Structure 1
Amino acid sequence: MDKKNTTIGVILLLAGIAGLFYSAKQQASRPVPPPAATASSTPASVAPAAAGTATPAQAVADVPPPANAAFASIAKAPAAGTVTTLSNDVIAVNFTSDGGSIRDIALKHFPATLGGHTPIVLNELHADPMLGFVDLPGLDRRTPYELVSATATEVVYRATFNHAIEVTRRYTLTAPGDKSNDPYQIRHETTFRNLTAAPAAFPRFELSLGTAAPVDEHDLGTQLTSGHSNGEDHTFTARNKLEASGGFLGMGAHGEQSSITAPGPIVWASTTNRFFATILTPDEPAAGTVTRRVKIFPDQPDTNHNAFGLAEATQFDLKTLPAHGTAKVGLNFYAGPKEYSRLSQSDYFKANQDKVMQFGFFKWFSQLLLVLMTWMHHLVPNWGVAIILTTLSLKIVFLPLTLKASKSMKRMAKLAPEMTALREKFKDNPAKQQTALMELYKAHKINPLGGCIPMLLPLPFFFGFFQMLQGTSELRFAPFLWVHDLAATDTVTHLFGFPINVLPILFTAVTFVQMHITPTPNMDNAQAKMMKFMPLIFLVFYYSMPAALSLYSAVNGLFTIGQQIIINRMKDDGDPIHAAPAAGPGGKPIKNVTPPKKK
């Protein structure tokens, strides 16, 4: 590997890592709204009421503040109707007669806080009720609905629009043990019935998917996105797309936008934060979507980007209703974790809803790693061990290529004196120098690019793993040894207010050792100095990243060190380097290319 290839490899590595971390570093400087000083530490109860029982809203108002303390200061409009709670094995859904919609959904298997027992609640800010009509005069989120019926798995509401159209809203949960639908998915139907003897038109309406908000006070909100699909293409809009931006050197600059509208057909629409998603899948393609920023921290200035959440609504059009005629809008509504293994199940999700994982350009590597890691977790139920076993599996798969590349680097190291002499001999003629080097490589059957493989081969998997970590709910609050949460930093203590994160420091030490024992033939002083700083650069990048990423990289480095020690002890390097004479331009042998030793 000559110095040009070394430089290119290092630049590619740094450019790739810088690209991944750029947006996160930009967001890191933005202040996160603090929790209210008066926030109660008493967790909110999500225990369901008796199935089919309507609970007065006044009683609900006496429930303590939500478990997510960062959101406890949010002003919530008091409910005027009644709340009915239905639940199954995985979710507890609070339905409200205000708008005949879903107030919020508790995910029973996902605690709101590390070590806590209270479930996290989706749409707990109540900025927009889920599946509620948005800004439709006469039929909006405040319109009182009559509770028609409620059973263990179904609730039905009814209201009248303009004294002419009866609107009936039916919600059905997946019962425990029912395999016909995913347990996180709610079936919904809204039926419109014309009460008059004349045709009646119903205006275009929007159904809300709720408001996506950061999962806790440490979440910077960089993963708040809305999305939609027309069945072939998938488009996602991040919260910062609605914010004013100066762009990059003026390119891509845009002002603040109140909303972003996307035309149909819409096969599904979604809102997501880092770990959880809501997905609306209509029976028939919808007419469009509208994405809006929603102020979730009223006491914070508008200049604070993290004072806003992200809301999306799906637009529907109805044909004119004939006299006494009816029309129906049916859909499935998923509210749960961003789990690739779940969302990729074709039995329940038939329109590629797994795209909400947003694995990006390296999605194939992300999916492969996640599937392999999940399989390992089934064998050993610890996500840290699963990461180690996944890393070991990859090292074994690529071992033949690594051995071949390492042998090439060892042979190049033995040719270093001849290569140095050629550069000195043709230092004033770069073209002849390059030709002489290539003929030297050819004579000794060495591929000058062969040594780059060990450095470049892991990069797609590294980028895929990094991207996977941005939205994999499986790793949230997953412990490993001293690590309490693999999806966060592994801070063990603070020194003068500075967090001490062990895994990034361990990875840095491993990188130093790895560089020390790995052959670096033909590297000049400038390149050598640059490489010495690489571990420190990695330390800066990794220090605020999830512990799982540092664990993967540190374990990968340890396995690489083990491989390199074995390779360094191997004597089979192929033919001796003097099997063929070095040749200069024109194929003539080069004589006395090695400078004599100074006396």
Structure 2
Amino acid sequence: MDRKSWIGLILSITGLIAWEWFYLKNFAPGQDYSKSPSQATSAPSFSVPSSPRLPPSPLPIISETAMLRNSTADYWFTGFFGGISKIVVQKHLGDDRTPILLSSDSRLPIGALWVTPTTLMEGFAMTTDRATHSVTFTKASENGIQITKRFFLLPDKDRSNQYRIRLEVSFCNPTSSDIYWPSYWISVGNAAPIHSSDLPSYTQLSWSNGGRLTSINVDWFDGSKIPLLGIERRTPAKLYQRRVPSVKWASVSNQYFCTFLMVSDSSGDGVWASRIPLRGDSQSYGIEGRIELPGFRLASGKTRVQSFTIYSGPKELNRLQVMGDGQEGILQYGLFGFVSERLLWIMNWFYGVFGNYAWAIIALTLLIKLGLWPLQNRATRAMRQMSLLAPKVTELREKYKDDSQKTNEEMMKLYREYGVNPFGGCLPMLVQIPIFFGFYTMLGTSIELRNSSFLWIRDLSQPDTVLHLLGFPINLLPILMAGTMIWQMAISPKSGDVLQQKIFYFMPLIFLAFCYNYASGLALYWTTQNVFSIVQLYLTRNSPLPQLERKVAITRKKEHFGK
């Protein structure tokens, strides 16, 4: 490499190290947020903000509780606020091998009613009916309206009902006059990071008003600035408030789990969210959200019922798709969503065969590699042709060394003359880019890899950190990935195109930066495909060298044989 290339290489390495330091300092929560209810004294909890929506004492919260259980989750209710205070997901474990907790804050329960965005309705009476698997809360409001909230479990033998619970909120007017009930808010619950490696972008509020999905994460509350210039585009905010028509659902989510509140038979008028610091960690935040419902006039003796469906569980693509209103959008597959969904489907199919997600990834990688095998062979042939043209390219550079434009023109003529594509060696890499980013986005939020181990890797959904060196995590698999990329480059035919060589030189660093603190399943995929590529290169490296012939000569041969 020339001097500029070496400078770029050094700057890239420096940038990677700086990013890892910045990430560890600012983003990594540094603790596990997935403790079980048996560890109540150290369970994840939000700090108590100074806000009028919270009661002066926590005693009413713990004085009356109830629990409903089905095959997938335990639902704990708080009587004082009339909502779900926490959900224990039995089939998914945290780092300490105990069940995951969702929306685990009894001060911000799912289904709680707010008469203003900051004033929580309290003082409900609670009854439990085990026969109907339901919990009912009742309260008489100051204006005489009788409020009843009823939560009931759905039959979970039907897979589409798993992790779901129904909520009916009824307003009854027993008085002799009409009463207007103003707009009110209903809580979606809250979400917080589960793993110490979760990025803030995974802790978010999402909502939809009929096909269009909008999301904000906890960093939204910091405002935004124009990069490099530092000019403020949006000031920091304590609250996120949007008045929008036809809100169908809202959700709060972390990297692998989510809670949805879906409005049945009507829609909301807006959404509201706030960011809450996690207790014991001033740099990490959870998020809470709620939906605004429109006000209404209730005639004497009449009852108005509003129904909701609550989903609180894993972010599994098929479970979200069957909800039927674009809920799978919270997975944020993005531009390569079509690729991500297909890769996920095939990976799950291989998992059904092997019973291990690591082997499923390896089998999927082999399948992709076999599909790209002819393309890789053509690319290798193009690179070998370029290596044969290297002496002629060198002559042109020497001949026109003072005229770069003329050099490029003559080189392109040379390539056309011999029918060589100077970027033919890059084609397999370009085809792999959508697959790589399809894996990247799919593994970022899909829950399938959680708690899946392989060799030294404890969890394929997390970085495979083997130790810390001066506080810096040593993740072995991304390093092996970069090493196999360098090995592959070393045995690949050398192209005469300097630009292409420079691109190849920087690719290991780019991929290392992408994968270093990401799900180790992604690094496993790319390392495996590198190994398969190396095997393919060794199998084809002894094939005869391609013959360079001018296109004019080839045309004459064809005309001669045609006669």
**TM-score bracket relative to the smaller structure:** 0.7 to 0.9
State whether residues 206 and 213 of structure 2, in contact with CA within 8 Å, keep that contact through their aligned partners in structure 1. Answer: yes
**2:259 equivalent to 1:278:** yes
**How far 1:195 sits from its partner (Å)?**
1.3
SS at match of 2:155: coil
**How far 1:138 sits from its partner (Å)?**
12
Q: TM-score, normalised by structure 2?
A: 0.86
Please point out which of 322, 326, 330 is paired with 2:303.
Answer: 326
**How far 1:482 sits from its partner (Å)?**
1.5
SS at match of 2:185: strand
SS at match of 2:161: coil
SS at match of 2:113: coil
**How far 1:421 sits from its partner (Å)?**
1.6
Please point out which of 110, 117, 125 is paired with 1:130.
Answer: 110
State whether residues 28 and 220 of structure 1, in contact with CA within 8 Å, keep that contact through their aligned partners in structure 2. Answer: no
Please point out which of 169, 175, 185 is paired with 1:190.
Answer: 169
More helix by share: 2
Please point out which of 64, 72, 75 is paired with 1:93.
Answer: 75
Q: Indicate the larger mover: 244-253 or 89-98.
A: 244-253
**How far 1:121 sits from its partner (Å)?**
0.9
State whether residues 27 and 222 of structure 1, in contact with CA within 8 Å, keep that contact through their aligned partners in structure 2. Answer: no
Alignment of 1:350-365 (within 5 A): 350-365=324-339
Instruction: Pick closer, same or farther for the CA change 1:277–1:66 going to 2, 3 Å.
Output: farther
Instruction: Pick closer, same or farther for the CA change 1:211–1:26 going to 2, 3 Å.
Output: farther
Q: Match of 2:54?
A: none
Please point out which of 167, 177, 183 is paired with 2:157.
Answer: 177
Please point out which of 40, 44, 58 is paired with 1:65.
Answer: 40
**How far 1:245 sits from its partner (Å)?**
4.2
Q: Match of 2:52?
A: none
For residues 201 and 281 of structure 1, what CA distance do their matches in structure 2 show?
24
Aligned AA (2:37):
A
State whether residues 372 and 428 of structure 2, in contact with CA within 8 Å, keep that contact through their aligned partners in structure 1. Answer: no
**2:390 equivalent to 1:438:** no
**How far 1:462 sits from its partner (Å)?**
1.4
Q: Match of 1:203?
A: 182
State whether residues 275 and 337 of structure 1, in contact with CA within 8 Å, keep that contact through their aligned partners in structure 2. Answer: yes
Aligned AA (2:40):
P
Identity rate, percent: 30
SS at match of 2:297: coil
For residues 191 and 19 of structure 2, what CA distance do their matches in structure 1 show?
19
Query: Which runs of no fewer than 5 residues in structure 2 stay unpaired?
Result: 50-56, 554-563
**2:237 equivalent to 1:257:** yes
Alignment of 1:21-170 (within 5 A): 27-30=23-26, 43-45=36-38, 64-65=39-40, 68=43, 71=45, 77-78=58-59, 79=61, 81-114=63-96, 116=97, 118-136=98-116, 140-147=120-127, 149-151=129-131, 153-170=133-150
State whether residues 504 and 539 of structure 1, in contact with CA within 8 Å, keep that contact through their aligned partners in structure 2. Answer: yes
For residues 22 and 175 of structure 2, what CA distance do their matches in structure 1 show?
57
State whether residues 444 and 519 of structure 2, in contact with CA within 8 Å, keep that contact through their aligned partners in structure 1. Answer: no
SS at match of 2:170: strand
For residues 572 and 443 of structure 1, what CA distance do their matches in structure 2 show?
19
Q: Match of 2:283?
A: 305
SS at match of 1:457: helix
For residues 311 and 209 of structure 2, what CA distance do their matches in structure 1 show?
18
Q: Indicate the larger mover: 150-159 or 308-317.
A: 150-159
Aligned AA (1:437):
M
SS at match of 1:571: coil
Aligned AA (2:409):
T
More strand by share: 2
For residues 492 and 414 of structure 1, what CA distance do their matches in structure 2 show?
44
Aligned residue pair count: 534
SS at match of 2:460: coil
State whether residues 86 and 152 of structure 1, in contact with CA within 8 Å, keep that contact through their aligned partners in structure 2. Answer: no
Query: Which runs of no fewer than 5 residues in structure 1 stay unpaired?
Result: 46-63, 583-599
State whether residues 167 and 309 of structure 2, in contact with CA within 8 Å, keep that contact through their aligned partners in structure 1. Answer: yes
Please point out which of 538, 542, 545 is paired with 2:518.
Answer: 545
Q: TM-score, normalised by structure 1?
A: 0.81
Q: Match of 1:535?
A: 508
State whether residues 27 and 200 of structure 2, in contact with CA within 8 Å, keep that contact through their aligned partners in structure 1. Answer: no
For residues 252 and 363 of structure 2, what CA distance do their matches in structure 1 show?
33
State whether residues 139 and 161 of structure 1, in contact with CA within 8 Å, keep that contact through their aligned partners in structure 2. Answer: no
**2:549 equivalent to 1:578:** yes
**How far 1:246 sits from its partner (Å)?**
3.9
Q: Indicate the larger mover: 355-364 or 513-522.
A: 355-364
SS at match of 2:105: coil
Q: Match of 1:454?
A: 428
Instruction: Pick closer, same or farther for the CA change 1:406–1:269 going to 2, 3 Å.
Output: same
**How far 1:110 sits from its partner (Å)?**
0.8
For residues 151 and 22 of structure 1, what CA distance do their matches in structure 2 show?
59
**How far 1:544 sits from its partner (Å)?**
2.8
Aligned AA (1:326):
T
The RMSD of aligned alpha carbons is: 3.4
- Deviation string 1:571-591 (CA, Å, 9 cap, x unpaired) is 373xx2134579xxxxxxxxx
For residues 473 and 117 of structure 2, what CA distance do their matches in structure 1 show?
52
Aligned AA (2:544):
K
Alignment of 1:366-385 (within 5 A): 366-385=340-359
Aligned AA (2:182):
P
Instruction: Pick closer, same or farther for the CA change 1:456–1:438 going to 2, 3 Å.
Output: same
